[in-house]
Amino acid sequence: MTIRLSADQSEELDTIAAVDGQPVSHVIRSAIAEHIEERKRDAVFQDMLRQRIERARRMLPNGENGKRKR
């Protein structure tokens, strides 16, 4: 995965990593993990996720619920 940062973001990220004594990649992974956990606890996000899953299920043939038939 590749991300593009502004020059300011890159400089600030480098500074945070240096002050924390951590590699930039660790700071990025930690921030992503924190963001994901916040979204998991966000009721509005969870409602939107359920709606998206339901829309996707309706696209499956014969009303399948995502389980493969064997």
Torsion from C-alpha of 28, 31, 36, 38, nearest 10 degrees: -170
58 has pLDDT over 90: yes
What share of the chain in percent tops pLDDT 90?
84
At residue 16 the predicted structure's pLDDT band, cuts being 50, 70 and 90, is very high
Contacts of 16 (CB under 8 A, 6+ apart): 27
- How many other C-beta atoms lie within 10 A of the C-beta of residue 39? 13
Global pTM value: 0.72
Q: Are the C-beta atoms of 27 and 16 separated by less than 8 Å?
A: yes
Q: Are the C-beta atoms of 17 and 27 separated by less than 8 Å?
A: yes
Show the tokens assigned to 61: 């043939």
- Residues 34-49: tens digit of each pLDDT: 999 999 999 999 999 9
69 has pLDDT over 90: no
